[in-house]
């Protein structure tokens, strides 16, 4: 099988984590698979690079910021290739442009136009493990671009689509897609499958498991995503064209988007959530009972959101989760 495996920043945060991920890679490769690995920058590297830029220039050009930020992923892939070399596995690292990722010129939020895979195919043909820097590409001017925060997922999906991979596995620090962020809501439960549309809505409303563009691209190109933990061997969540009408609760998940400056947006995502559906009432009731000041927003097609004070966002998600899923 040809498999694309993507590992997020926390999964490759330090030498010990890199060694652990290398074991997963080794197992996959030794089982006889062709393997393309996509990596994010280690830990908080991207934030630290942004900070470094700010120390020099409060508003650097986006071109130079991309040149800087792309370095984070390049550190990860070269270190991983060295780790694999040490394990006597044939591996090499490639930057986005070496891997043929061509993008438009929207620095900082570029879209992948094509992934020309000749180089990757040639290396796979030599039985090598190809380790590709996520989150970056090259534009028509041969300048480095980046794909927006969280964009390594999109690199993985683009390569899986272009290579017609049999599997696209997104390894992260949680064991799949849950009814709420399991790091904050211990009783959240994992979905075995989830549809592209619901996943996209979750991603757009603040779930950080997958970059929303990666979900769009997966849907357009028919790539089924498997989201799983790089920490523990566990079941996963598959994201694909799954039937939404199967027997399961109407609410798929609860998210909190903290990206706005003075409020957080807490949302429930699911099917047929009009402003009058039962789940919406339960949500508003839960917030009321917890004394959380909530301003409802107009209902979306698959979601319902309310603004809450930023410092109450986590508690809001927990009380809604309790009412919807734990009682």
Closest CA to 235 of 192, 195, 187: 192
- Under 8 Å between Cβ of 3 and 30: no
With residues binned 3-state (H G I as helix, E B as strand, rest as coil), the percentages for the chain, rounded to 5, are 40, 25, 40
Cβ closer to Mg ion: 8 or 96?
Answer: 8
Shortest distance in whole angstroms from residue 215 CB to Mg ion:
12
* Three-state secondary structure call for residue 4: strand
Sole binder of Mg ion in the list 100, 150, 151, 176 (CB under 5 A): 150
Residue 100: name its binding partner from ligand ASP, Mg ion, none (Cβ under 5 to 8 Å by kind).
Answer: none
Residues 7-26 as x/- pattern, contact with Mg ion by CB under 5 A: -x------------------
Please report whether residue 95 would count as binding ligand ASP according to CB under 6 A. no
- The H or E element that residue 259 is part of is none
Sole binder of ligand ASP in the list 96, 137, 150, 253 (CB under 6 A): 150
Please report where in the chains the tokens 């027997």 appear, as a residue: 247
Closest CA to 35 of 221, 171, 220: 171
Q: How far apart are CA 106 and CA 88, in angstroms?
A: 40
* Three-state secondary structure call for residue 282: helix
Residue 72: name its binding partner from Mg ion, ligand ASP, none (Cβ under 5 to 8 Å by kind).
Answer: ligand ASP
Tokens found for residue 82? 């060295």
Please report whether residue 206 would count as binding ligand ASP according to CB under 6 A. no
Q: What strand order describes the sheet that includes 303-308?
A: 251-257, 264-270, 303-308, 295-296
Q: Which 9-48 residues touch ligand ASP, going by CB under 6 A?
A: 9, 40-41, 46
Please report whether residue 206 would count as binding Mg ion according to CB under 5 A. no
Q: Which 224-253 residues touch ligand ASP, going by CB under 6 A?
A: none
Shortest distance in whole angstroms from residue 209 CB to ligand ASP:
12
Residues that bind Mg ion (CB under 5 A): 8, 150
Residues that bind ligand ASP (CB under 6 A): 9, 40-41, 46, 72, 134-135, 149-152
């Amino acid at each position: 099988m040809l498999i694309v495996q993507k590992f997020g920043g926390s999964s490759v945060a330090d030498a010990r984590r890199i060694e652990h991920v290398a074991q997963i890679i080794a197992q996959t490769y030794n089982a006889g698979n062709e393997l393309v690995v996509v990596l994010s920058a280690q830990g908080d590297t991207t934030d630290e690079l942004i900070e470094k830029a700010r120390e020099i220039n409060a508003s650097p050009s986006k071109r130079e910021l991309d040149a800087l930020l792309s370095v984070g992923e390049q550190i990860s892939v070269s270190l991983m290739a060295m780790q694999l070399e040490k394990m006597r596995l044939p591996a090499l690292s490639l930057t986005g442009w070496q891997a043929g990722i061509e993008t438009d010129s929207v620095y900082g939020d570029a879209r992948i136009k094509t992934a020309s895979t000749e180089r990757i195919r040639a290396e796979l043909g030599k039985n090598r493990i190809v380790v590709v820097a996520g989150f970056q590409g090259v534009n028509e001017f041969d300048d480095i671009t980046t794909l927006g925060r969280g964009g390594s997922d999109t690199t993985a999906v683009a390569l899986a689509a272009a290579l017609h991979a049999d599997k696209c596995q997104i390894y992260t620090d949680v064991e799949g897609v849950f009814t709420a962020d399991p790091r904050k809501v211990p009783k959240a439960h994992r979905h075995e499958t989830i549809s592209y549309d619901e996943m996209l809505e979750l991603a757009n409303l603040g779930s950080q498991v997958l970059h929303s563009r990666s979900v769009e691209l997966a849907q357009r190109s028919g790539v089924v995503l498997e989201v799983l933990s790089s920490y523990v061997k566990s079941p996963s969540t598959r994201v694909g064209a799954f039937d939404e009408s199967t027997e399961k609760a109407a609410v798929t998940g609860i998210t909190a988007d903290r990206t706005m400056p003075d409020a957080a947006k807490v949302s429930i995502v699911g099917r047929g959530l009009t402003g009058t559906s039962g789940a919406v009432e339960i949500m508003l009731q839960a917030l009321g009972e917890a004394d959380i000041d909530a301003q409802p927003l107009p209902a979306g097609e698959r979601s319902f959101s309310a603004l809450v004070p930023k410092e109450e966002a986590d508690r809001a998600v927990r009380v809604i989760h309790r009412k919807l899923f734990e009682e």
